Amino acid sequence: MILDKIDQLLNEVSNLSAQNADEIEQLRLKYLSKKGEITALMADFRNVAADQKKVVGMKINELKQLAQDKLNELKECVGTQKKAEDTPDLTRTPYPIRLGTRHPLTIVRNQIIDIFQRMGFTLAEGPEIDDDLHVFTKLNFAPDHPARDMQDTFFIETNPNEVTKNVILRSHTSNDQSRVMERQQPPIRVICPGRVFRNEAISARAHCFFHQLEGLYIDKNVSFTDLKQVLLTFARELFGPDTDIRLRPSYFPFTEPSAEMDISCHICGGEGCGFCKHTGWVEILGCGMVDPNVLEACGIDSTVYSGYAFGLGIERITNLKYHVADLRMFSENDVRFLQEFQSAN
Ligand code: PHE
């Protein structure tokens, strides 16, 4: 009789199922709690005939073990079902993701780098904080040159009682020229993009920091014609094949002769418009043949080698390409402004 009951329970227990933790608890109460069916069997066990006790006892233990195993198994299943719900469904269509954009200055800088790299220039970078020797002296700035003046250059206080004029936030990327020449003998063919600083009041047309890209080419028999051809190719690559260039005489302490380069206004095609102030030309860079004094100061024999250099403002070129009216937009991180460049990426 009791054996029949045990068999029936064995059968029941081996087929148990549950959907959640509550149902499992109900099953535990039904079979294994103090008032549960298996506990009740223990009470009946007392009345079992002595010669049956061994068999019945073993059966009851088997049933108890099975019930416990089964409940543990159900608990695990319910646990993993829950986990399965938390795992992301990788086949689902994604939420619309808002893509970021590259900063317009980065976009234009990369375009410029790409053009010069295709012409065989390699990249070099110099320090933003530098000394007088590399920013000015080696570049042939006379000791009293106005560009060293506090008006233009940020000098850094290293001693609170004294502003030493030797630690400088570079005011142009030309410090990279002196550093490259110092460590490398010709042939040299590098471009050096970077941030520069000038002590100017911040307005729509000026900022206390901006970005330049310096180019330097030194070898035997380098002439002004080489410079002109490289710059013409650059201008046409960047602004289109119809672009013309014009070189106007200028002055920089580190180049002789020096020039400023204009490109034909790509808005009016050179006819004259508000953008080019009705001249048909817009200025984009400074350039020239490296002054022999600079070569000598940097350890390069100026009787054997010659070279050219140029420096351009990345903000200026970005403005020409994208007509950004206010220079401050570049450093304000306004997402609406940045997103306008999504397609340019
Ligand atoms: N360093 C110059 C400037 O900041 C630009 C320049 C670089 C001119 C190299 C000539 C040669 O204006």
- Tokens 């064995």 map to which residue? 10
Residues 311 and 173: their CA atoms lie apart, in Å, by 8
DSSP 178-242: HHHHHH-PSPEEEEEEEEEE------SS--SEEEEEEEEEEETT--HHHHHHHHHHHHHHHH-TT
Nearest CA to ligand 1 atom 10: 287
Which parts of the chain sit beneath pLDDT 70? Answer: 79-85, 150-151, 160, 162-164, 345
Give 174 Cα–ligand 1 centroid separation in angstroms. Answer: 7
pLDDT at 98: 75
pLDDT of residue 151: 61
List, for residues 258-307, the tens digit of each pLDDT value: 999 999 998 888 888 887 889 999 999 999 999 999 999 999 999 999 99
Name the pTM for this structure: 0.72
* Å from CA of 287 to ligand 1 middle: 6
Condensed to tens digits (0 to 9), the pLDDT of residues 298-342 reads: 999 999 999 999 999 999 999 888 888 888 999 998 999 998 888
CATH topology of domain 104-340: BirA Bifunctional Protein; domain 2 (3.30.930)
Domain residue extents for the chain: 2-80, 104-340
Quick one: which H or E segment has residue 285?
Answer: strand 281-290
Distance 325 CA to ligand 1 centre (A): 24
Nearest CA residue ID for atom 6, ligand 1: 311
Phi/psi at 197 (5° precision):
-130, 135
Return the pLDDT at 209: 94
CB 176 within 8 A of CB 125: yes
Q: Look at strands 281-290 and 306-313 and give their pairing.
A: antiparallel
What is the distance between the alpha carbons of residues 289 and 295, in angstroms, rounded to a whole number? 11
Query: What is the structure's pLDDT at 39?
Result: 84
Q: What local confidence, expressed as pLDDT, does residue 83 receive?
A: 60
Nearest CA, atom 2, ligand 1: 311
128 is in an annotated binding site: no
Distance 291 CA to ligand 1 centre (A): 12
Any idea which residue has 């940020």 for tokens?
A: 154
